[in-house]
C-alpha cells in the first residue's frame, strides 16, 4: 500500500503532501505542536507539546531532544520532561539562559501552534520499579524539572523529602506546587547554598533513602562526595552547557569532502554545522553519542580534557571534540 502511494509521490514521500494538512503526520520526522504555553517565572516557561503518533511515551525523569527553528535555523537542545508519565501531551519547562539563543526563544517567543521536532525520550535518571518506599530529592534551579516529572507521576507517595534551591523567591519554578507537595525551598540569595552536612538535621535518615539529585555541577560533585559510601543509592543527572576550550589549537577538518576551518574553541559539530554540513547531533554535551562520526585520519582534541586522541576508525563525538591540526571524518551515508 505504502509502496503504491510512493509511486504517486516519487521523488517525494506521501507525508510531504500529507504534511500540508497536518505536519504531525510525518513518519520520517517526529514532530510536535505546542498546544499551551504557561509562564512559570520571569525567566521560565512551560510548553505543553502534543507529539505525533510515533511518540512512544516517556518515563518520569527522562529528557527529550527538541529541534526548534530560531530565525529560520534549526537548533537542537535537550530538556527534561516535566510532566507526569502517560497522557497525550508532553511538557518541557525551560529556563532562559542569559546568552541562550534557543532557551530565550522557547521561553519568550514560542507561541501556541509552533511546530517542533522531537526525538524519543531518553535518559537513565528514572525511578526504579517498584518505587522505593523512601525517597530524597535534592534539586537546584532548573534541575527541578525531571524531579517534578517524578513527583507528578508519584502522586501522593507517602514519603518523599524534597529539598529545592533557587536564588530568589521569584525565581522558584513550580513554587506553588512545590509548597503544596511539602517541599523545603531554599532561597540561596538570602540563606546561602545548601550544605549537604545539613542533611543529618534536615533528613536524618538520608542514607536509607533512594536519592535523586539534579542541578549545577557543583551540587552534583558535592553529592557524589557526600554519598561516597552509599553510591548505589545516589542518582544524578548532569546538565551542563557544551564544553568549551579556550586553549584549543584549531585546524582544518574534512567532513566527507567538505573542508572546514575549525577555530580552537569550537567543536567539530558547531564548525561543521556553521559551514552548512548536515551532521548527526544529539545532546551536545558529550553523553548520548548520537553525533559520533568515524575518523578517517588525523586526530582530534577532547575539548573537555585537552586530551589529543584518535586512531583511524574511531568514532569521534563531534560535539565535544575540537580540531588539532588536520583530520578527516566520514559522513554517514544517506
Q: Quick one: 191 or 334, whose CB is closer to other proteins?
A: 334
Cα(173)–Cα(177) distance, integer angstroms: 9
Contact residues for 192 (Cβ-Cβ < 8 A; gap 6+): none
CB of 12 to other proteins, least distance (A): 8
Nearest to 38 by CA among 53, 52, 22, 49: 49
Does residue 56 interact with other proteins by CB under 8 A?
Answer: no
| Binding positions for other proteins, 130-169, rule CB under 8 A | none
Name which of 45 and 281 has its Cβ closer to other proteins.
281
- Please state the closest distance from residue 115 (CB atom) to other proteins, in A: 11
Strand positions, DSSP E, the chain? 31-39, 44-51, 63-70, 73-80, 90-95, 115-118, 135-140, 160-166, 184-187, 210-215, 234-238, 250-255, 258-262, 292-302, 308-309, 315-317, 321-329
Stretch that binds other proteins, among 14-22, 46-54, 158-166, 319-327 (CB under 8 A): 14-22
If the CB atoms of residues 17 and 289 are measured against other proteins, the closer one turns out to be 17
Looking only at residues 220 through 279 of this chain, which bind other proteins when binding is defined by CB under 8 A?
273, 276, 278
Alpha helical stretches, state H, the chain: 2-9, 14-18, 101-108, 144-154, 175-180, 188-191, 199-202, 217-226, 268-274
Q: Closer CB to other proteins, residue 7 or residue 201?
A: 7
- For residue 42, what are the CA distances in angstroms to 96, 140, 322? 9, 17, 36
Residue 21 found at the interface with other proteins (CB under 8 A)? no
Grid look-up 550544605 returns 195
Query: Pick from 1, 2, 3, 8: which binds other proteins (CB under 8 A)?
Result: 8
SS3 state of residue 121: coil
Query: Cβ of residue 19: shortest distance to other proteins, in angstroms?
Result: 9
Map the footprint of other proteins across residues 71-130, applying CB under 8 A. 71-75
Under the binding rule (CB under 8 A), the answer on residue 12 touching other proteins is yes
Give min distance, CB of 72 to other proteins, in A: 3
What's the grid cell of residue 132?
A: 522505593
Binding to other proteins in span 275-304, by CB under 8 A: 276, 278
CA distance 146 to 265: 31
Q: Give the one residue of 25, 29, 238, 249 binding other proteins; rule: CB under 8 A.
A: 29
Rounded least distance, CB 254 to other proteins, Å: 15
Name the residue nearer to other proteins (CB basis): 274 or 307: 274
Q: Judged by CB, which is closer to other proteins: 146, or 272?
A: 272
- Strand pairing of 115-118 and 308-309? unpaired
Note whether 125 and 116 are within 8 A (CB): no
The residue among 130 and 276 lying less far from other proteins, judged by its C-beta, is 276
The backbone torsions φ and ψ at residue 86, rounded to the nearest 5 degrees and listed phi first, read 80, 175
Residues 184-203 that bind other proteins (CB under 8 A): none
Binding footprint of other proteins on the chain (CB under 8 A): 7-8, 10-12, 16-17, 20, 29, 69, 71-75, 273, 276, 278, 334
Amino acid at each position: 500500500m505504502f509502496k503504491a502511494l510512493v509511486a504517486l509521490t516519487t521523488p517525494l514521500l506521501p507525508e510531504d503532501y500529507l504534511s500540508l494538512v497536518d505536519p504531525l503526520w510525518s513518519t520520517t520526522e517526529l514532530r510536535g505542536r505546542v498546544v499551551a504555553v504557561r509562564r512559570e517565572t520571569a525567566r521560565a516557561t512551560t510548553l505543553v507539546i502534543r507529539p505525533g503518533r510515533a511518540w512512544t511515551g516517556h518515563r518520569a525523569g527522562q529528557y527529550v531532544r527538541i529541534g526548534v527553528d530560531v530565525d529560520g535555523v534549526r537548533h537542537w537542545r535537550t530538556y527534561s520532561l516535566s510532566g507526569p508519565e502517560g497522557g497525550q501531551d508532553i511538557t518541557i519547562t525551560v529556563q532562559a539562559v542569559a546568552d541562550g539563543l534557543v532557551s530565550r526563544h522557547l521561553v519568550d517567543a514560542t507561541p501556541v501552534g509552533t511546530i517542533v521536532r522531537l526525538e524519543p525520550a531518553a535518559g537513565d535518571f528514572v525511578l526504579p520499579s517498584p518505587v522505593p518506599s523512601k525517597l530524597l530529592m535534592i534539586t537546584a534551579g532548573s534541575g527541578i524539572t525531571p524531579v517534578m516529572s517524578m513527583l507528578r507521576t508519584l502522586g501522593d507517595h507517602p514519603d518523599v523529602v524534597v529539598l529545592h534551591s533557587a536564588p530568589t523567591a521569584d525565581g522558584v519554578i513550580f513554587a506553588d506546587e512545590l509548597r503544596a507537595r511539602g517541599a523545603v525551598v531554599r532561597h540561596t540569595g538570602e540563606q546561602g547554598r545548601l550544605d549537604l552536612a545539613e542533611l543529618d538535621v534536615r533528613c536524618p535518615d538520608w542514607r536509607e533513602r533512594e536519592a535523586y539529585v539534579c542541578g549545577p555541577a557543583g551540587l552534583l560533585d558535592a553529592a557524589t562526595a557526600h554519598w561516597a559510601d552509599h553510591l548505589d543509592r545516589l542518582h544524578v543527572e548532569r546538565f551542563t552547557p557544551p564544553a568549551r576550550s579556550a586553549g584549543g589549537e584549531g585546524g582544518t577538518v574534512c567532513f566527507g569532502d567538505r573542508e572546514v576551518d575549525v577555530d580552537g574553541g569550537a567543536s567539530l559539530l558547531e564548525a561543521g554545522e556553521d559551514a552548512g554540513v548536515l551532521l548527526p547531533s544529539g545532546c551536545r554535551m558529550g553523553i548520548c553519542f548520537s553525533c559520533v562520526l568515524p575518523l578517517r585520519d588525523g586526530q582530534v582534541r577532547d575539548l573537555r580534557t585537552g586530551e589529543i586522541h584518535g586512531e583511524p576508525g574511531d568514532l569521534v563525538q563531534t560535539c565535544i571534540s575540537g580540531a588539532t591540526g588536520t583530520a578527516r571524518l566520514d559522513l554517514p551515508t544517506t
